[in-house]
Structure 1
Amino acid sequence: MEHIKQWVADNPTLASVVKFALLVVFVLSIIQLLRRFLRKQVTDTTARYKSQKGIEVVGYIILILLSFSYFTGTIKDLTLVLGLFTAGVAFTLQELILSVAGSLYIFTVKVYTPGDRIEINNIKGDVIDVDTIYTTMMEIGQWVSSDNYTGRIVKLSNAFVFKGPVYNYSKDFPFIWDEFNLPIKYGSDIALTEAILTKISSQTLSQFTTNSKKQWRDVVNKYYIEDAMLDPTIAVTLTDNWIQFNLRYIVDYKKRRSTKNALQSEIYNEILKTKGKVKLASATLELMRLPEIEVKVTS
């Protein structure tokens, strides 16, 4: 023991380096022990991976702080170094910090929850998971029409909730307005056409209309918004080629395509039953015949 004390007294710098090396080995050993403990105790793969990474990051931060404290030796210098270190970390990890802040904002304000259909950063889909960094969505749209799944799973940084609008199809009011145009030939029975549209839309959309009225009252009470027309509406426009009937209606946001298909099929079948009183129109091209020119040759 006396020999060790004498060696330390004779070699203060080298002894200081050895002490620091032992301190580093001790902290790294603690990190490894904790990682092994978590590997054995935590069964969920995602939770195990994130907890191990978290212990590793915390351990390295502690090592950096101990290094500054060990070599500077004063609280004043340590405070300065900590300030610079914090500023550097904040600048380097600003996207990560925004993502974590975004996750807190999402959970606190309930911007959206798993199961909601949203559009954010020009990406539309159903939210299937929200963690501390990413929002995971099952994508809809793109090359597939009428809000069908594409099969791609999209991970989007939670930081985007601060960078642009978030469109929510299902929060508070899980219904949307949809419409389609029906071209009818001039000379058709307009009153009969309107009666067909009214009858079919009332039968097909009655459940959506009833349920949406109940939820719309809650929306009006919660937000500063005026009342809206929730029953199906029909508008008639006279064009150069046909009489255009526009049917506007409200529908469950997940049943938009199937509802439009049911409406159009039923309307088409009813039009066939009119036996020509109502005729569908289509774009046509009329070719004009050139007049005949008689040429006489005289000698």
Structure 2
Amino acid sequence: MDALLDFLKDPFAAKVIKLLLWIIFIIIAIGLLRKLLKKRIGDATIRYKAQKGVELVGYFFIFFLVLISFTVESIEDYTIIIGLFTAGITFTLQELILSIAGSFYIFFVRVYKPGDRIEINGIKGDVIDIDSIYTTLMELGEWVSSDNYSGRIVKISNAFVFKGPIKNYSMDFPFVWDELNILITHESDIALAKKIVLADATELLSEYTKNSLAKWKEMVAHYYIEDATLEPTLALKITDNWIEVNLRYITDYKLRRATKHQLFERIQQSIFATEGKVVLASTTLQLLKIPDINVQVKPQA
């Protein structure tokens, strides 16, 4: 017992024991974190990378603990070594750290949630999952027109919430403004055309206008924003070939394509029912007649 006490009083032995205790603590912490990540992360690839990252950081800590335990003598040296080590780890794992910080930011600030339609880093889609590293989107657009799914699943690092704008189509106001251009000939009854377009749009979109009104009032009360017209509105534009009747209206953010189709189909039927008073226009081409040329040939003397 006396020999054991004498051994423990030896500064070198005490340093070795402290080092072993720290190593055991780090190894246990690595194991616990690996189990936690296994439970929390469903994606096998992300889980594997996260577990390997935890192991790598843990082994770095063990290496530097051994290094400073046997090569550093003063507290100033400890501070310098630890500072350099922390800076190196932060620089090496900055993307991972930003992604984890981004997940907390998304959760607490409510930037977006599963089910929202967003555009981030130039990619638009519906949020289908948010984990500690990535936001998963069902992509919209690309090679398909309008707001249709492309079929691709896109994973975006949560770090992008700090790097650029996030466009949310559904967070506080799940409606968007859209436009439809109806082209009519110059000979058409313009007043009748305006009446048809506005009447059809008002009737078809009445439910959207009613539902969006309450949401818009909440927006005006919550944000510093001017009031806006939610009912369908018209604007005319005259060109060389036709008169453009521009219809601006509000619709559900997920039904832009369907709403535009219904509007055009209904307005087209109403225009055909006017029996020629209003005529849809198309690109016209005017051909000019080449003037007659009178050629006279003088006889040779």
Task: Measure the CA separation in 1 of the matches of 2:211 and 2:202.
Answer: 14
SS at match of 2:101: helix
1:134 Cα offset (Å): 1.6
- In structure 1, the partner of 2:3 is none
- In structure 2, the partner of 1:115 is 115
Task: Measure the CA separation in 2 of the matches of 1:213 and 1:258.
Answer: 21
Amino acid at match of 1:63: I
Contact 1:27 1:63 (8 Å CA) reproduced: no
Amino acid at match of 2:212: S
| Larger CA deviation: 255-264 vs 76-85 | 76-85
Question: CA 1:111–1:85 in structure 2 vs 1: closer, same or farther (change >3 Å)?
Answer: same
- In structure 1, the partner of 2:225 is 225
1:182 Cα offset (Å): 0.9
| Larger CA deviation: 191-200 vs 71-80 | 71-80
Contact 2:19 2:69 (8 Å CA) reproduced: no
1:22 Cα offset (Å): 7.7
1:57 Cα offset (Å): 4.3
Is there any run of 5+ residues in structure 2 with no aligned partner, and where? 1-6
- In structure 1, the partner of 2:242 is 242
- In structure 1, the partner of 2:4 is none
Task: Measure the CA separation in 2 of the matches of 1:115 and 1:53.
Answer: 31
1:179 Cα offset (Å): 0.4
Matches within 5 A, 1:263-274: 263-274=263-274
- In structure 2, the partner of 1:191 is 191
1:243 Cα offset (Å): 1.6
- In structure 2, the partner of 1:56 is 55
Task: Measure the CA separation in 2 of the matches of 1:99 and 1:44.
Answer: 14
Contact 1:34 1:55 (8 Å CA) reproduced: no
Task: Measure the CA separation in 1 of the matches of 2:68 and 2:30.
Answer: 23
1:251 Cα offset (Å): 0.6
- In structure 2, the partner of 1:66 is 65
- In structure 2, the partner of 1:99 is 99
Contact 1:27 1:59 (8 Å CA) reproduced: no
- In structure 1, the partner of 2:209 is 209
1:154 Cα offset (Å): 1.4
Q: Percent identity?
A: 56
Matches within 5 A, 1:130-145: 130-145=130-145
Contact 2:170 2:253 (8 Å CA) reproduced: yes
What's the TM-score, normalizing by structure 2? 0.83
Question: CA 1:81–1:258 in structure 2 vs 1: closer, same or farther (change >3 Å)?
Answer: same
Amino acid at match of 2:125: G
Task: Measure the CA separation in 2 of the matches of 1:117 and 1:33.
Answer: 38
Amino acid at match of 1:258: A
| Larger CA deviation: 230-239 vs 245-254 | 230-239
Task: Measure the CA separation in 2 of the matches of 1:116 and 1:238.
Answer: 39
| Larger CA deviation: 271-280 vs 234-243 | 234-243
Contact 2:19 2:66 (8 Å CA) reproduced: no
Contact 1:118 1:126 (8 Å CA) reproduced: yes
- In structure 2, the partner of 1:78 is 78
Contact 2:19 2:65 (8 Å CA) reproduced: no
CA-to-aligned-CA distance 1:90-120 (integer Å, 9 cap, x gap): 1222222222222222112111111111111
Task: Measure the CA separation in 1 of the matches of 2:160 and 2:33.
Answer: 32
- Alignment RMSD: 3.4
Question: CA 1:178–1:29 in structure 2 vs 1: closer, same or farther (change >3 Å)?
Answer: closer
Question: CA 1:280–1:43 in structure 2 vs 1: closer, same or farther (change >3 Å)?
Answer: closer
| Larger CA deviation: 103-112 vs 246-255 | 103-112
Is there any run of 5+ residues in structure 1 with no aligned partner, and where? 1-7
Task: Measure the CA separation in 2 of the matches of 1:256 and 1:114.
Answer: 20
Contact 2:176 2:250 (8 Å CA) reproduced: yes
Task: Measure the CA separation in 1 of the matches of 2:269 and 2:198.
Answer: 14
SS at match of 2:205: helix
Contact 1:31 1:55 (8 Å CA) reproduced: no
Task: Measure the CA separation in 1 of the matches of 2:40 and 2:180.
Answer: 52
Question: CA 1:159–1:32 in structure 2 vs 1: closer, same or farther (change >3 Å)?
Answer: closer
Question: CA 1:156–1:44 in structure 2 vs 1: closer, same or farther (change >3 Å)?
Answer: closer
Task: Measure the CA separation in 2 of the matches of 1:42 and 1:65.
Answer: 30
Task: Measure the CA separation in 2 of the matches of 1:227 and 1:238.
Answer: 29
- In structure 2, the partner of 1:153 is 153
SS at match of 1:297: coil
Question: CA 1:206–1:27 in structure 2 vs 1: closer, same or farther (change >3 Å)?
Answer: same
